[in-house]
Chains A and B, each alone.
Chain A
Amino acid sequence: MKGEPKELKLIVNGKPYELKVKSKALLSDVLRKDLKLTGTKRGCLESTCGVCTVILDGKAVRSCSILALQANGHEVTTIEGLAKGGKLHPVQEAFVNHGAIECGFCIPGRVMVAKALLDENPNPTREEVRLAMQGVLCADVGYVKQIEAVEIAAEKMRGGE
């Protein structure tokens, strides 16, 4: 029936959820409003800025460009799911320590893209890091520190210092 809320079952940050959502609800709406996970930002709503990026089944996707119902039966990781027991993920740590954060609005989306990249490719070239960062817009850092932070995190995750 049109307008009737539909069942949505998904795992977010390791926790299973059963919700009822409108058909037209976007994944970012459900994360932010229903699950109160406001770390994932609401930006352009036009699939151009990338601040809404989350990880869906291991892949970085724009949550504003996916119907919530398409995530039914899938696993989502948001920025809130990265730090474990208060300990920051190496990507988060690198961003903090390397001064890659200014206003911070693009950071959740950017960290998720970086994490997805490094999970898939632990030793990316600079070109590959740039390509990954291309999908999330920033307005103040100039990207240099962010690209370097991803490389620093990659090295740490590979076991280097």
Chain B
Amino acid sequence: MKEFEYFAPRTVEEALSLLSQYKEEAKIMAGGQSMLVLMRQGLVAPEYVIDIKGISVLDYIEYGEEKGLRIGALTTHRDIEKSHAIQKHFKVLSEMERNLATIQTRNWGTIGGNLCYGHPTGDPAPVLIVLNAKLKLAGLGQERIVEMEKFTKDILEVDLRPDEMLIEIQIPTPKPHTGTAHDKLMIMQGDTGIVGAAVSITVSPGNGVCEDVRIALTGAASVPLRAKEAEKRLIGKMINDALLEEAGQIASEGADPPSDVHGSAEYRKEMIKVFVKRVGRMALERAKQR
């Protein structure tokens, strides 16, 4: 690993100040669970490493019925997994975290680090997309809000300027009668998903017709893919297995998955069908219960 200059700012301002000074030559390190692997392999070799793990003000989980869920960018995966508030109000996030890598990774790795890494197989992204999440980004003296759906631009490329930092994830309280679920195809527990699906379904309390649905997939493209055409198939309908299968078929047709040692593109297309159906079923069950 190449040597670098190291800073450990204690406040957001300090961190942003360093970022605006060194810009492209600097890299932010949170938990380092993705970053260090790349650095050890020589794929990333920053001159300056800005270690923000010590900025404790960014480590929080806040829930209020009005404002919804606010998660600080430096919250660890494990804290999200174990949070009572999240298990109660946003169970899908806790479930997703439980399947993410191993306990050691979750103990130190952060949600912010994961999202800014922008890996197409990352599990938090599709879940946050179907939860309508927004991300608060900050630069020196300025802030902006970006929709999660628009944050990942390409493989390992996110909408983050060289002098910006992710501060907070904002998830609105879901409408009543909304159910959300996530699952991924693993050979072994904790694997990166060969494909993954997050689905959120809102049903009308009176007649059970689908009012809203959001489907986001991993392993389907170079970024988390919102399966909009598949969603259209379900809106305004009474969702049943046959309809979910159709939606899965449409989602699969709209996907352009990679081929690698874990699965071919054709297999992934087949699995997208399976997981849209399975996760859709789970989301529907949950929507009906609320």
Spell out A's residues near B (CB within 8 Å). Answer: 1-3, 6, 22-24, 26, 45-47, 50, 53, 56, 59-62, 65-67, 69-70, 72-73, 113, 116-117, 130-132, 134-135
Number of interface residues of B (CB under 8 A): 30
Pairs A-B, 7 closest by C-beta atoms: A135-B102, A23-B6, A59-B107, A2-B5, A61-B108, A62-B104, A135-B104
Choose one: B6, B98, B104, B188; the contact of A61 (CB below 8 Å).
Answer: B104
B12 at interface (Cβ–Cβ under 8 A)?
Answer: no
Interface SS majority for chain A:
mixed
B36 engages A66 (CB within 8 Å): yes
Contacts A23-B49, A24-B2, A61-B108; A67 near B103 (Cβ below 8 A): no
Residues on A with beta carbons closer than 8 Å to the beta carbon of B49: 23, 67
Q: Are A50 and B102 interface neighbours, CB within 8 A? A: yes
Q: Are A66 and B4 interface neighbours, CB within 8 A? A: no
Point out the residues of chain B lying under 8 angstroms from A59, CB to CB: 78, 107-108
Residues in B whose Cβ lies below 8 Å from that of A56: 107-108
Distance of B9 from chain A, by nearest CB (Å): 13
Residue of A nearest to B107 (CB): A59
Q: Contact partner of B1 among A24, A65, A116, CB < 8 A? A: A24
User: In the complex, what's the smallest C-beta–C-beta distance from B142 to chain A, in angstroms?
Assistant: 28
The complex places the Cα of A3 from the Cα of B47 at a distance, in Å, of 11
Instruction: Tell me, rounded to whole Å, the shortest Cβ–Cβ distance linking A135 to chain B.
Output: 3
Partner of B3, one of A22, A61, A116, A134: A22
Q: Decide: A60 and B5 in contact? CB cutoff 8 A.
A: no
Q: Is B40 an interface residue (CB 8 A)?
A: yes
A–B pairs, 19, beta carbons within 8 Å: A2-B3, A2-B4, A22-B3, A24-B39, A46-B37, A60-B107, A61-B107, A62-B108, A65-B33, A65-B104, A65-B105, A66-B108, A67-B29, A67-B36, A69-B6, A69-B51, A134-B103, A134-B189, A135-B104
Query: In the complex, which residue of chain B has the Cβ closest to the Cβ of A73?
Result: B54
**B187 smallest CB distance to A (angstroms):** 13
